[in-house]
Amino acid sequence: MLLGYARISKADGTQTIDLQRDALTAAGVGICHIYEDKMSGRHDVRPGLDSCLKALREGDTLVVWKLDRLGRNLRHLIELTESLSARNIGLKVLTGQGAAIDTTKPEGKLVFGIFAALAEFERELIVERTRAGLAAARARGRKGGRPRKMTPSKIRMAMAAMSDPNAKAHLVAEELGITTTTLYDYVNGDGSPKKVAQDVLNTSTENA
């Protein structure tokens, strides 16, 4: 099944979502299967996107008009797509810079693989710089690094809450005292843990 997601940045009438709706329906998405948000992509809370991610099932394909309608940034976009891929859900972009991305086809997977490789390169640079900064701080007798926002108990609560198909990510995040971004950093939309969450849980088990 094809599910569509559309977003405009302003809800004051100066922008219209009709162009995206028309493109999605022309691509075969039923009008009742289009989820929408009217807010900036920088917002952590996007109810339409949350509902869309919850509604997607194995074998489905998420269709978006442009790549920038979906992710807040490259990192968020890569994480979303990796999460979809893990659930055997495809992603198809209709126009713009990401129009060659269709992860249901080999050539589309290749293009997305290039995006993912660039994101991984960027992450490695950040990690390398962070480690260098921490090493320099330790050499001066200081300890760096922020405490984890997610404890093992919080991760387990997040997994249990997000496994409910009716759960709202922004409400789960609010209950745990974290942002929706942090929630999705640790837990997928279906409640399964991401690698960083699994690492925390494994470390907790080893120290028990």
Q: Which helix (H) or strand (E) element contains residue 127?
A: helix 106-139
- Give the active site residues: 9
Strand 90-93: give its sheet, edge to edge. Answer: 34-38, 2-8, 61-64, 90-93
CA distance 18 to 185: 32
Distances (CA, A) of 97 to 31, 86, 109, 191: 25, 24, 15, 31
The continuous run of DSSP H or E covering 8 comes out as: strand 2-8
Q: Are 174 and 182 in contact (CB under 8 A)?
A: no
d(CA 72, CA 47): 14
User: What is the dihedral angle through the alpha carbons of 173, 174, 176, 180, rounded to the nearest 10 degrees?
Assistant: 20
How far apart CA 70 and CA 49 sit, in angstroms, is 8
Q: Closest Cα to residue 81, out of 102, 99, 66?
A: 102
